[in-house]
Amino acid sequence: MGDAMKDDVMKDRTEQLVDYIMKKCLWQFHSRAWDRTRQNEGILTRTRQLLCGEPVDISTPEARCYWVDAVCMADAFRARYAWLADMSRDEIAELMQGLHERIEFLTVTGSLNLELTDQKY
C-alpha cells in the first residue's frame, strides 16, 4: 500500500473512532480545558495500551477510573471495527496517537466553548 493510500486509510479509521467517541462517550464533556486534556490523556493512553497488549497502570484511583473507560472503549472498538485485528501494534499506536491529537483538537484547542478557559468557572 502506498504512503498516500495508507494515510487516507489511517485518516478514515481515525475519523471512525472520533465518530464513536463523539456519539457514545460522555467523558469528553468536562467543563474545563485542563480536565478535558487530562481525561483525554488518561483514557486514550490506556485504550492504546489495551489495544496494543501493553501493561496498564492502575495504581491510583484516578488511573483505575481512566482504565475502566479505556476497557469499555477498547472492547467497543474491537467489536465495531474488525480492521483493528489486522493492524500491527505499531499501526494501532499510530492510529491512537492520531485519535488523541484529533480529540484534543475537537474538545480543547479547537473548541469554541468559552467556558473551557473562563478563570471564574
The string of pLDDT tens digits covering residues 42-83 is 999 999 999 999 999 999 999 999 999 999 999 999 999 999
Res 117: pLDDT: 62
- Provide the strand spans (E) within the chain: none
Q: Output DSSP code: residue 32.
A: S
Q: How confident is the model at residue 24 (pLDDT cuts 50, 70, 90)?
A: very high
**73: its cell numbers:** 472503549
Give the whole-angstrom CA distance, residue 91 versus residue 29.
28
Cα distance between the two ends of the chain: 49
